[in-house]
Amino acid sequence: MHDMAAAPTNGSGSPTTTAAGAGPGRLLVASELLVDGRRIDCPAAALLAGDLRRRGAQADIAALRPADCGREAAVALVTSGDGELGLAIAAVDGDRALAAEVIGSWRSVAGPRTVLLASPRSFCAGVERAIEIVLRALETRRAPVYVRKQIVHNTHVVKDLERRGARFVDELDEVPDGATAVFSAHGVSPAVRAEASARGLDVLDGTCPLVTKVHAEARRYAGRGDTVVLIGHAGHEEVDGTMGEAPEATVLVENVEDVRRLEVTDVGKVSYLTQTTLAVDETAEVVDALRTRFPALREPASEDICYATTNRQDALRRVAADTDLVLVVGSQNSSNSVRLVELARRQGRPAHLIDSAADIRPEWLAGAATIGVSAGASAPSELVYEVIAALGGLGEVTVEERETVRESIHFGLPAALRDG
């Protein structure tokens, strides 16, 4: 890898301005460089732009011409198996020092890498169904279509649906009487359903069928007189909805210590449920503690932690042991994505949750020759490939996919949205 000499300034010797009408203090990150008749790809543009924005700069991505690479530009080339790749930022009004610093930080971690790609990853059947419900509603229902809470916990999915016309609200009181309202994949309490009915809302239920299963269990266990112990995370929408099925009979525990402090009316009538997106190994410890305290503990006929959560954890567990770093694509409020990061860290690997390639930091890549990559069940798969492409902008990347199981589960749409 090496620096590339900056292109000359304009004919008068004055500094050139950046492309696309950039104003003072604005930086342009090259998506490609056009130099001496050559087009040099710059796949790491998202990494550079994200770094600049974290430092408070305004950064846009665009193709840069020779005239843009004057005294204000910082440029370096990286050797790849297919030739050369560019790292370039054009800046004005004193920002070149920042541009040079950012270029230097990424150039210092450039080089060939291996990516171990965990499979399964990204969307599960419940997420696909919920998103499809919103898309069908936008096509078949009178605008606007309202969605209570985030349909799934991913910022990119929500922004995309907003661009298509969906309106996201926190509570139903923001939805006009008679309008279309979609419930999120995480489920709602009976009180929310009753409110929607009283308001005459046209409800489309995006609740994942596996969450619906847990709700049914909560009603059944409470109906037979049990104290229902729900293992989950306080404040999560799925937990709020499940507890709403039988609030007087349900208690929430998050860890083994909560189990030790738990007091119930009748130790012989206790059952448990779990949030569907928990860490399998940590949840097993909590269940073991419940069994120790309550020998007559009654359990679900099948695991409440969903197949997708379990599969993604199993896949990442196989990958993480052979990596120097793990990157999990997913949003901060995605429980199953956070659990993947925690799993990798429990295996002694540095791991980070990223919404997109722009969140990757250069210091994470120092000494990381092999990177494990996965994505939570609510993260679009294209974001994973964007991460791999961005890493490829720092040098040749070899991708090895490791598949533990192939998922074929599909959930049907509500009857009101089925064709025919």
197 vs 85, 143, 175, 191, 252, CA distance in Å?
58, 19, 13, 10, 28
Supply the pLDDT for residue 37.
81
Q: Are 384 and 117 in contact (CB under 8 A)?
A: yes
- Dist. CA 250–CA 231, nearest whole Å: 10
Strands (DSSP E) found in 190-309: 202-205, 227-231, 250-253, 270-274
pLDDT of residue 331: 98
Q: 361 with 367: CB under 8 angstroms? A: no
Structure tokens, 103: 């270029």
The answer to whether the beta carbons of residues 115 and 397 sit under 8 Å apart is yes
Amino acid at residue number 415: A
334 and 385 both lie in a single domain: yes
Whole-angstrom Cα distance, residue 129 to residue 134? 9
Catalytic residue (choose from 32, 72, 238, 245): 238
Note the Cα 387 to chain centre separation in Å: 12
The count of residues in the chain is: 420
Per the structure, the count of domains in the chain is 4
Predicted local confidence at residue 5, as pLDDT: 33
156 and 76 share a domain? no
Residue 238 falls in the annotated catalytic set: yes
**At 410, is the secondary structure helix, strand, or coil?**
coil
Instruction: Evaluate whether 321 touches 351 at the Cβ level (below 8 Å).
Output: no
Is 414 within a domain?
Answer: no
| Same domain? 19 vs 74 | yes
Q: Which domain holds residue 157?
A: 125-207
Class of residue 43 by CB neighbours under 10 A (exposed 0-12, middle 13-18, buried 19+): buried
How far apart are alpha carbons 311 and 62 in whole angstroms? 39
Burial of 159 (0-12, 13-18, 19+ CB in 10 A): exposed
* Residue (of 286, 287, 338, 294) closest to 312 by Cα position: 338
User: What's the pLDDT score for residue 23?
Assistant: 37
Rg (CA), the chain: 26
Instruction: Evaluate whether residue 216 is within a structural domain.
Output: yes
CB 231 within 8 A of CB 285: no
Distance in angstroms (rounded) separating the CA atoms of residues 255 and 289 = 9
Cα(278)–Cα(351) distance, integer angstroms:
18
Distance in angstroms (rounded) separating the CA atoms of residues 221 and 200: 31
Binding-site residues for [4Fe-4S] cluster, in ranges, read 124, 208, 306
Annotated binding site: 124, 153, 186, 208, 236, 276, 306, 334-336, 378
Per the domain annotation, does 142 fall within a domain? Answer: yes
Assess whether 273 and 334 both reside in one domain: no
Residues 260 and 339 in one domain: no
What is the Cα 45 distance to its own chain's centre? 20
Phi, psi of 407 (to 5 degrees): -90, 135
- Which residue in this structure is represented by tokens 């999560």? 236
Q: 207, 225, 250: which is the final residue of a domain?
A: 207
Q: How does pLDDT run along the chain (420 residues), one tens digit per residue? A: 444 433 322 222 223 333 434 433 689 999 999 877 889 999 999 999 999 999 999 999 999 886 666 667 888 999 888 789 999 999 865 578 899 999 999 999 999 999 999 999 999 999 999 999 999 999 999 999 999 999 999 999 999 999 999 999 999 999 999 999 999 999 999 999 999 999 999 999 999 999 999 999 999 999 999 999 999 999 999 999 999 999 999 999 999 999 999 999 999 999 999 999 999 999 999 999 999 999 999 999 999 999 999 999 999 999 999 999 999 999 999 999 999 999 999 999 999 999 999 999 999 999 999 999 999 999 999 999 999 999 999 999 999 999 999 999 999 999 999 864
Same structural domain, 150 and 174: yes
Pairing outcome for strands 370-375 and 113-119: parallel
Distance of alpha carbon 340 from alpha carbon 207, whole angstroms: 22
Are 95 and 72 within 8 A, CB to CB? yes
Whether residue 218 is contained in a domain is answered as yes
Residue 278 lies in a domain: yes
Is there a domain that residue 198 lies in? yes
Burial per residue of 343-359, b for 16 or more beta-carbon CB atoms within 10 angstroms, e otherwise: bbeebebebebbbbbbb
Pair (189, 256) in one structural domain: no
